[in-house]
Structure formats: structure tokens, C-alpha cells
Amino acid sequence: MFLFSSKKRVLIVSIFCLLIFSAFKISNSSYFEIARNLDVFTSLFKEVNAQYVDEVKPEKLIKNGIQGMLETLDPYTDFIPEEEAESFRISTTGQYAGVGALVGDVKGKLVITHPYEGFPAYNAGLKVGDEIIAINDVILKGKNTFEVSNLLKGQPKTKVKIVVKRFGQKEPLTFDVTRAKISIKNVSVTEKLNNDIGYIKLDEFTPGASKEFTAAFNQLKVQGIKSLVIDLRDNPGGLLREAVNIVNLFLPKNTLIVETKGKTEESNTKFHTLNNPADLAIPIVVLVNDGSASASEIVAGSLQDYDRAVLIGQQTFGKGLVQITKPLAYNTQLKITTARYYIPSGRCIQALNYAQRKEDGSASKMSDTIRAEFKTKAGRIVYADDGLAPDIFIEQKSFPSVINVLIEEGLFFDFATQFVNSKTINQIDINEIEIGQPEFQSFIKFVKEENFSYSSPLNKQVQQLAQAIEKEKSAIELKKQLENIQSIIQQDKVQDLNNHQLTIRRILKQQIAFHLQLTKGLVISALPDDEAFIQAQSILTDNTTFEKLLNR
């Protein structure tokens, strides 16, 4: 890092401002306003740097000023300083060099939560649930997951020694792992299911997503599928062109998929399919939820607008904004929103208007009253301004509070780790995993041994009432009644786990399947109880209903 004198700092800021100024195409009407404010900023910075009672850090001041300015825009426009450039690159490309494993904090232990299949950690034999205790002789006690991840990363073909504790093993296990370039897959599950239904789970739209998806679809076609489910739930999006290429598989060449409209000429672009399609007839269902955003909404929305697929699930996120990354001085970058995108029916599905803020500073809805109506190719009415509405809505069920606490405390994960490592079931078919009454009782015993502490919402309210009664000396009779209520609630807490036995057994099955076969195991084991998928399966095996939904 370069160090500058105060005079040089001011000079640099002045030059920086002038460069910004000269980079804009400024109309005569705004010329004075921009020049005046840049002059104010420069003089203010100069005086603060020279006069403030404590020593200031110019870099920090400028960075905070930049962040403050960008916060008035949208949450997707962001400044990426040089030290964060690598993290940003990894998040946008899914590529880095290391061992290929996620590390999490599970009840204070640094645990491998996901070794990616086919990469060094997985190939070396590291498993879900292994507690990492040392890396290259560095003891990890007191370190956080970020520090551990940095120790695991490094140049390709370099070695790293990883020491872990594994349940059921008396002594720690040591693994010598050779780092490699890691490219996280966009398609996590490709499976032919009952009734010749193909299933593809697409997690992101990083570079190569369309190639992966095409390969997955071709594989399923060879296996003889007659219909397809594309699962875009919780897919946050990514590269627009990857989305267009995926849609291209199912729509004719030269079909308009998305149009972007912005302030500059280069922001106004129409994206058409460029290649011949792979299949124009196969029935398609797309699963979406409120975590489906951006490129996911382009895929789902264009297939809906051309009446090519039925959407099932919940309202999507509603991100109709396009970002590009611009390089700045000193290896910094700007990720900036340059346009809105419009899918084939002409609608923009952007939900929030960041240009109009409420009194509390939050963004207002694009349309707080009546949403604009548009029509699909077959004449079905669809709406703009608040994400995509599915053709079949499935209510998203939430877990009861006791289940959420079990998940947050890592008890399902820990039990699955012990269950898998205490049995020789590594090669078992995940469809054969049965969590019956004996396994449920084993889990209840495990939870008790872990001193599971759970306070229900009702119990919290009673505790607040008890605190209020304590202040009233005359409320002796009321206090006795409250003690009786607390006793009943305590008994109900014991019954809470039994009351939710079916849910607990399902989650245990999914966690065990994940320990055995990672994401594929988790997803496939969950599908039989997945209401959105059950609905998809139903309409894909009933062609009349499918055609009627698309107004054909």
C-alpha cells in the first residue's frame, strides 16, 4: 500500500474527482451542479484531513463516502475494493483453488459440512461431519470458519495436511490433500424419476451453466424421459446469457427471450436464441419460490410467456435489474445496475422501486395498487412488477419453533454424522433408508444427552408475565396459578418432539441421505414429501390438465 503526504492526498482526491467528472457525458444543465458538488467534496475532505482532532485514515473516509453514496441506490450496486476482488470473483464464477469443501461451525466445532464430489477433499476420503482440528500443523482452536477456509485454499498442486476427528474413531485421522482448481457445479442433481419424468436441479447461473444443463438434459433424453421438471428454487441467478442459452433448448431459434433497457445505448439490448432447439414438445414444469431471482426469473418467465412450461411453487423474488462490473483505479471495481430487463410478454418483474423510498428509508413497491396486466402467447393474463406468479401456487409451510431450534443447534446434522459413522451403510441406496420408531427414539435420547434447551413462544410469554407478577407483592394467588401453567407447559415441551415425530423423521432421513450422497441424496430423499414436486408429477402424467393450464 502506498503512503502519501496530506498535500498529495488532497491532490489525488482532486484528480480522482476530475477523472470522474471527465468520464461523464454531461449536459449543460447539470455541468455546474456536478462541478460544484465535486468541489465541495474535495474541500471538505481537505479540511477534515487537516483539522480533525484525531488522526484520520483517508482511505477509510473515502471508502465510507463511497458506500454512503451507493446506499442511496439499490443493494446490487456495490464498490469492490482490491482486497475483496478475489472473493467477488469466486462468488461470480464459482471458481477458486483449494480442496473443494465447505467448513461450518456446528456447536462450536469446525466441521466439514460439504465436500464437493469429485474434488480433492472428497477424493481423499474426507466426509461430512469430520471435525477439523489442524491444518498444516496449525491448531485450529479459537479460529473461525473464514480463517480455516483461507488455510485450505492455495495454489493448485500444492499439498495441505488436514487432521480431523471422526465419530467412532479413537484417534485423529490425517489426510494429505493436493489442492486443485475448484469449479462448483451449477447443476447439482440430474435424475430420471418414476413415470419417465426427468429432474434437473439448477443452483446458479455461473459460467458454464448452460453447458452443464444441456449435458444433463441430453443424458436424461438418452434415458428415455417423457417430461421434465426444472427446479429453480432458491437459485439467486447469475449470468443473463447462460439463462438465454438454457431457454434456447426449448424454444425456436431467433426467439426473443429478454430485452434490457437502460440509460446508455449499450444497455439497450435484445437477447434472442441463437441455436436450433433440442426439444420443442417435451412437457416442462418449472419449480420456483421466493428465492428464485434474476436469471432464474428470466428462464421461468420466458417459458411461461411462451406457454412452454407450467410454473409451480411460490411468487418469485422479483429482481428485474441488470448489473455489469466496471474496472476502476488501483484494481478496484464497481458492480453497477445499468438496466432493467423485460421478458417476452413485455413485463418487468422488478418488485421494489429503489428510486422511491418510504419515510423509514425502505424501498417502495413498484406498484402499490394495481399491477399491470400482460398476456402470454396463448392469451393467458400475467402480471408485472412483483416477481412471477406461479400457475399453480403451493403454500410454503414453515417448521414449528421446536424444529427450527433443533436445526439451528445442529442436532439433526450431528445425529446423522453419528448414525452414518456407526453403521456400515456408506453404499446403501438412499431410497432404502428407513427412519422408524427405533431411530426416532434414538434421536430423542441423543437430544436429551445434548441437554437440548427449548423455549416455546408461549413459554416466553409466560416468563414475561412471571416477571411482571414478581413486582406485584399482593399477587400471591396469581403466582400459584402461573406456576401450575408453567408446569403444564413444561410437560407440553416434553411432548413437543413426539407431536412432530413425522417431520423429525423426514428431516433425519434427508440429513442421513445428505451425509451419504451429498446434495443429490438430500434432494432425492426429500422429493416424495415435496408438495410442489408431487403436484408437478401429477400434471405431467395427465396431459389434458397440462395442456389446459397452458391454454392450448
**DSSP at 330:** G
Residue 26 has pLDDT above 60, yes or no: no
Average pLDDT over residues 410-428: 82
Contact 102, 113 (CB under 8 A): yes
pLDDT of the residue at 7: 46
Where are the strands (E) in 267-332, listed by range? 269-272, 284-288, 310-313, 321-327
Kindly report, residue by residue over 104-116, the tens digit of the pLDDT: 999 899 999 999 9
Identify the residue with better confidence: 164 or 5. 164
Which residues neighbour 98 within 8 Å (Cβ) at sequence distance 6 or greater?
120, 149, 152, 153, 154, 179, 180, 182
Kindly report, residue by residue over 43-84, the tens digit of the pLDDT: 999 999 899 999 989 888 888 999 999 999 999 999 999 888
Residue in 127, 185, 319, 509 annotated catalytic: 319
Average pLDDT over residues 372-387: 94
Q: How confident is the model at residue 434 (pLDDT cuts 50, 70, 90)?
A: confident
pLDDT of the residue at 522: 95
Ramachandran quadrant class, 225 (left: phi over 0; alpha: psi -120 to 50; beta: rest): beta
| Alpha-carbon torsion angle 91, 95, 97, 99, nearest 10 | 90
Q: What is the mean pLDDT of the chain?
A: 88
Of 245-259, 296-310, 389-403, 482-496, the one with minimum mean pLDDT is 482-496
Q: How confident is the model at residue 368 (pLDDT cuts 50, 70, 90)?
A: low
Residue in 294, 296, 302, 525 annotated catalytic: 294
Residue 438 has pLDDT above 60, yes or no: yes
Respond yes or no: is residue 319 known to be catalytic: yes
**DSSP at 142:** T
**Interatomic CA distance for residues 46 and 508, integer angstroms:** 61
Closest of 219, 218, 220, 389 to residue 301, by C-alpha: 389
**Interatomic CA distance for residues 205 and 239, integer angstroms:** 6
Closest of 254, 302, 305 to residue 277, by C-alpha: 254
pLDDT of the residue at 95: 86
Average pLDDT over residues 404-430: 83
**Interatomic CA distance for residues 531 and 231, integer angstroms:** 13
**Interatomic CA distance for residues 100 and 541, integer angstroms:** 39
Contact 443, 504 (CB under 8 A): yes
**Interatomic CA distance for residues 198 and 195, integer angstroms:** 9
Q: How confident is the model at residue 8 (pLDDT cuts 50, 70, 90)?
A: very low
* Ordered domains of the chain (ranges, CATH): 6-72 (no CATH), 95-183 (2.30.42.10), 187-396 (3.90.226.10), 401-454+500-532 (no CATH)
Q: How confident is the model at residue 2 (pLDDT cuts 50, 70, 90)?
A: very low
Of 24-28, 234-238, 296-300, 461-465, the one with minimum mean pLDDT is 24-28
Contact 111, 104 (CB under 8 A): yes
Q: How confident is the model at residue 505 (pLDDT cuts 50, 70, 90)?
A: very high
Q: How confident is the model at residue 1 (pLDDT cuts 50, 70, 90)?
A: very low
**Interatomic CA distance for residues 160 and 228, integer angstroms:** 42
Q: How confident is the model at residue 457 (pLDDT cuts 50, 70, 90)?
A: low
Amino acid at 504: I
Q: Which residues of 385-399 are buried (b: 16+ CB within 10 A; e: fewer)?
A: bbbbbbbeebeeeee
Angle between the N-to-C axes of helices 457-470 and 476-499, in degrees from 0 to 180, rounded to the nearest 10: 170
**Interatomic CA distance for residues 411 and 497, integer angstroms:** 13
Contact 250, 227 (CB under 8 A): no
pLDDT of the residue at 111: 97
Q: Please spell the DSSP secondary structure of 208-223, one letter per residue.
A: THHHHHHHHHHHHHHT
pLDDT of the residue at 40: 92
- Which single residue is written with the C-alpha cell 484525531? 54
Of 17-31, 80-94, 495-509, the one with minimum mean pLDDT is 17-31
Kindly report, residue by residue over 489-501, the tens digit of the pLDDT: 555 555 788 889 9
- Which single residue is written with the C-alpha cell 446506499? 71
Residue 338 has pLDDT above 80, yes or no: yes
pLDDT of the residue at 362: 83
Which residues neighbour 172 within 8 Å (Cβ) at sequence distance 6 or greater?
133, 163, 164, 165
Q: Please spell the DSSP secondary structure of 150-190, one letter per residue.
A: HHH---TT-EEEEEEE-TT-SS-EEEEEE-EEEE--SEEEE
Residue 276 has pLDDT above 80, yes or no: yes
Of 169-183, 256-270, 428-442, 526-540, the one with minimum mean pLDDT is 428-442
Residue in 78, 130, 203, 305 annotated catalytic: 305
Share of the chain above pLDDT 70, in %: 86
Average pLDDT over residues 388-401: 93
Kindly report, residue by residue over 235-270, the tens digit of the pLDDT: 999 999 999 999 999 999 999 999 999 999 999 999
Respond yes or no: is residue 294 known to be catalytic: yes
